[in-house]
Structure 1
Amino acid sequence: MIEVYVKKRLQAFLLNVNFSEKGIIAITGKNGSGKSTLLNVIAGILKPDEGYVKLNNIDITNLPINKRSIVLVTPESYIPTLDLKKHLTWGAKLKGRKVDDKEIMELAKLLGVPDENKKVGNLSLGNKEKVSLVTAILTKPNLILVDEGFSNISE
């Protein structure tokens, strides 16, 4: 369950959001309507001028990014110098999770990520985004935010 009541001013733009939802949530809107700004506030990258962000009834508004158990995935979320397997285990290791090869390969196969030893930076844009999503899932956060994370994925 996520509960958001925030106001954030960025120059002439005012983000004013109030919602409470659970499950999979899609936020749509025109370019410049504040979708990315909202995700950055929820993730803790931007602080709201007013209001709060609650996750599972816990106020996380003032928690640092690393204490929120939230992952924000963007088209640029990948680490280009890591090979595929190292990238997929990187996030889980940061969280102190041990991930076995079977779990990695099952999830990678499910999402159609190539099982190559290529550097992630050498993959197609769509596969880079898939790698970022699988890496996020393997960290087992409380919330995954996806900002245009499917823009280059065609299948």
Structure 2
Amino acid sequence: MSEVSSTKLSSQGFTRLIGTVLVVLAALAVWHYLAVFRPWYTTQRAGLYQQRQSDLAAMRQALAAYHAKFGRYPATPGFTGAVTAAGTRTNDWLPGLAGEFLPQLPRDPAQSNDPNKQYLYYSDGTDYKLLAHGSGDCALARKDHPELVDPARNCWAYGYWTPAAAAW
């Protein structure tokens, strides 16, 4: 009978040991996420967000200068970006700004080839909408500048627009 009790105690001790090892591994994984990955990820995301804010502000100023000179905004047939729906790149996705009003058109700092994750622009000539679309950092925009969150896309995009273009 002591042999059976010894085996039972040994089995319980082994189970406790495995449980302790799993708890320690889980704690190490949480520590790694909080101490290493999360600060790096947050810092990287914040840097991309700041670059997008800077790019959008520069394009907004260029659009205002274009409007002051020509009395209209550069018109497009629909939303355009540096990556077309077919996946090809174009440098003149916001027509008429590069050169005179901006040295060159910026591209979203993530450099994605996904046409749904880039700067987008649309204008009928009278109104416009300029967005950082699908960037994944809209929560930062909602916190810092909630007025920039696109009301038509529920935090999938943020940027600038004229009042009549808000719903586009």
Q: Shorter-chain TM-score: which interval?
A: under 0.3
Larger helix proportion of the pair: 2
Which structure is larger by alpha-carbon Rg, 1 or 2?
2
TM-score, structure 2 normalization:
0.25
